[in-house]
Amino acid sequence: MSHEQRLLRHATGMVIVTFLSRVTGYLRDKALAWVLGAEALNDAFRTAFRIPNAFRALLAEGALHAAFVPALARLSDEGASGREARELVRGLAAALLLATSIVVGLGIVLSPWLVRLYAPGFAGDSATLEATVLMNRLMFPYLALVSLAALLQGVLNSRERFLLPAATPIALNLAMAAGAWWLARGSGQAPVVLSLSVLVGGALQFLLQLPAVRALGFHVRPLWRALRSPTVSSVLLLMLPGIAVLGLNQINQFVTNRFASTLGEGAVTVQFYAYRVTELMYGGIVVQLTTVLLPVMSRQLRQEPAAASVTLLDTVRLVSFITLPTATVLAVAARPVIGLLFGGGRFDVAAVTATGAALAAYAFGLVALGHAKVVASAFFAQQDTRTPMVGSALSLVIFTVACWLLSGPLGVPGLGLANTIAMSTYAVLLTAAYVRLYGLPGAPVGPTVVAVGRQVAASAVVGWGLWLTRPWLAGVERTGGHEALRVFAVLGLVSVAYVVLVVLMGGREPATLLAAVRGRGRS
């Protein structure tokens, strides 16, 4: 079996599980949109949840995963004793508990300052500001729970156990959807209900993975003396530059939230739902492919360096095969997509129109973000987190300046356009740096360039055809059966057309994906 097919066989199972996660994530967001609409309370909730979520990405799921998974996999490959691997896990558990306890405590105390930092526009509305501070304080312990869950995910991923970690976000989604359902029944304590649903979801993410990790012989009881271990120290040092690299998305969200909070009531919510649509595809496909890419490339770089380059280019080609047509569809048909997904209840026609305009501006940022994530994972497999950090810092500067220039005249769509500009710059810089520093030994680049060119051409044709069908999609402003039939009929046709066009031009990506699915079915 080729390295590409091996990568895809792992990723296929994850995509299936993650699809269920994304469905429940959509149901969560739909429920909250229906109950809260694009109004002040939803703005407050989104801001309050973003703050501990940003620390989660910086301290846990991003930097920790990138530094920890290769280290634990390397211990196994080098034949190290099981005691060393267990001490690494327990030492990192101690480090996480210490760090998150400090951050949670400070976060609760400094919540009024953090809220004003994230949402300066709330200062003029005392009710919104107070609700945001209350929810932020109640939600902050979520950081500790989800950080430990991320450590468990790293243990399972290092042993090539991907399905359970990919499934645990379902618990968070269902808990938050249950909170929305409770509010729909007329609860008068909306901030408390929303906050408690987040805490319950974080606890479930940790508890669901714990038995599987224990079955592998690992425990997460903190081992404080292991903090002095050279292996633990090396992982923690590798995390430091990775915080800026893998936290780029969350840092961008911080800047976005600041600007959105100044654009009037509902702007934070409109930005969230527009970005959320691109994130659904990014999390469902790109993250899963790159989660598998990291340990596979780490092993190949030690054993078969030429194979690592082939794996990287295969992943680039497959990710672009997904993201290019998706971005085209989201740009051309943004309003009916938003209407079908979130319209109805308190999420009215005005909210659908505003969110659709923002989604169109965000759409092609998905392509750049997907490519950047793949190349960043390749850097981490090389144990190099410093080089991407420089590119991410420059990208953040470009994003902030673009938000300042574009949000005033364009509103929320200006924030989407700023994101697309910054992520495109980051992707180009990261790719150029990787080729210059490491090259692509044993892997010709030409076939990948040709493959991406085919995808661009097919996406352009599909976009033109979709533009011609826009009148038929007019008036899709709510979630409903008739609206779904219209949208799915059009999207089904353009999807088939895209695949057929790629195949007619000589593309093998559809066949590769199909072979991976069939291979998994026979295994």
Give the residue, 165 or 32, on which the prediction is more confident: 32
**Cα separation, 462 vs 475, whole angstroms:** 22
Tokens of 282: 């990014």
The one-character DSSP state at 478 is S
Give the residue, 518 or 117, on which the prediction is more confident: 117
- Average pLDDT over the chain, rounded to an integer: 85
**Cα separation, 451 vs 284, whole angstroms:** 22
Phi, psi angle pair for 278, to nearest 5°: -70, -35
**Amino acid occupying residue 274:** A
**Cα separation, 305 vs 439, whole angstroms:** 11
Give yes or no for residue 198 having a pLDDT over 70: yes
pLDDT tens digits, one per residue of 298-319 = 666 666 767 777 778 888 888 8
Confidence of residue 19 (pLDDT cuts 50, 70, 90): confident
Confidence of residue 523 (pLDDT cuts 50, 70, 90): very low
- What's the whole-number mean pLDDT along residues 355-366? 95
SS3 242: helix
Q: Are 19 and 103 in contact (CB under 8 A)?
A: no
Tokens of 363: 């759409």
**Cα separation, 205 vs 374, whole angstroms:** 26
pLDDT tens digits, one per residue of 272-282 = 999 989 887 77
* Of 128-142, 288-302, 478-492, the least confident: 288-302
Give the residue, 346 or 5, on which the prediction is more confident: 346
pLDDT tens digits, one per residue of 52-73 = 988 887 776 656 666 677 777 6
Which pLDDT value is given to residue 521? Answer: 43
Q: Are 229 and 87 in contact (CB under 8 A)?
A: yes
Phi, psi angle pair for 73, to nearest 5°: -65, -40
Cβ neighbours of residue 503 closer than 8 Å, sequence gap 6 or more: 510, 511
Which pLDDT value is given to residue 328? Answer: 94
In which domain, by residue range, is 68 found? 3-522
Give yes or no for residue 483 having a pLDDT over 70: yes
Q: How large a percentage of the chain has pLDDT more than 70? A: 85
> Which of 55-64, 153-162, 401-410 tops mean pLDDT?
401-410
Closest by Cα among 168, 158, 243 to 205 = 168
**CA dist list (Å): 238 to 62, 70, 143:** 12, 11, 21
The angle, 0 to 180 degrees and rounded to 10, between the axes of the packed helices 305-332 and 3-36 is 30
**Cα separation, 266 vs 261, whole angstroms:** 8
Give the residue, 410 or 216, on which the prediction is more confident: 410
Number of domains in the chain: 1
**Cα separation, 282 vs 286, whole angstroms:** 5
Which pLDDT value is given to residue 507? Answer: 81
Tell me which long-range contacts 107-111 makes (C-beta under 8 A, separation of at least 24): 107/51, 107/52, 107/55, 107/136, 107/137, 107/140, 107/143, 108/137, 108/140, 111/51, 111/136, 111/137, 111/140
Confidence of residue 230 (pLDDT cuts 50, 70, 90): confident
**Cα separation, 47 vs 241, whole angstroms:** 26
Burial class (CB in 10 A: 0-12, 13-18, 19+), 5: middle
Give yes or no for residue 7 having a pLDDT over 80: no
**Amino acid occupying residue 314:** D
In this structure, how many other beta carbons lie within 10 angstroms of the beta carbon of residue 186? Answer: 6
Longest dimension (CA), the chain: 67
